[in-house]
A and B are shown apart, each in its own frame.
Chain A
């Protein structure tokens, strides 16, 4: 042991390599992190927002589902709550309709008018839509209700995405 003494030169070499190594790592780490950041981000689920509704709560009757997300509008960040009418169609596929009337943008309600069962009703100008979102001719709306892209997360929670034109109405 005693004849394997560390010389002054060796000691300085070790310590300087060690300290230099830490400094180099400190500089490189953030750079590497920045470089691979896009790869990590892509897994974060895109634009889908998780709602508070589980898949097995959804029946074939349209139910109101509220969901909240943060919206940045220029310098102003606000929490926005949106609503969807969600049900399962005949084949068990989830349909999430936007409640925004295609006439002038009021909020429509499922069976909002007791005289029109099984229809979405717009209280502003008596617009009517069928369950699929198809507008009833003779009422003010000129197009079917839009829909949200919908999917179910791995743990069985409903997730809603961007608004798209209605795809189930032919």
Chain B
């Protein structure tokens, strides 16, 4: 059936329209097992729609989405049980403690987990008795990743996991994504931060107007650009403003 070399995700010529607006216009790609696959592009490029079709949250107008050999459109429930999902806009029940939220979601997958252990994997064990509304932005993102991990997913979808976070919290999420990948999960990530894509992704698809306009490893994409004779406008410095900020304010999370 599925050898380890088979792609775990296959997207084949996916199209999706909302009324007259074309959101996805023929997107195809494969993701290999254990890979971190990044989808980059400006807002409204069609990243989120593509991801939601793969997650079984929306039906494509045409084309195929297959996760681990299962056609998403035919059997969304099986697919949903195998994957972990962090939506772009996450919300969880208020009035529940974090352990109760994790426990509840684990039960929805009929999974047995230790909520405190899951929370400690995302560095939230010290807030286990807090409620969702009391968390900072970075903590909320990490909780939503924790919830996405309750069913030990074979594919983890992260839709803009660091949008709106400060540099410290962003690096915390990056470390978390790397740790999850080392545990063997396949990750699909959307972002509009190039630095994030370069830091985390094995391969990148650049999406614009509902189509993939470039696909490859970060290094290969940069090399392709340089081959065209491209010269950066400014000399690349040894450090970035991000580094300056982190050097001044420290790498510790503000929680």
A and B bound? no
Binding site for A on B (CB under 8 A): none
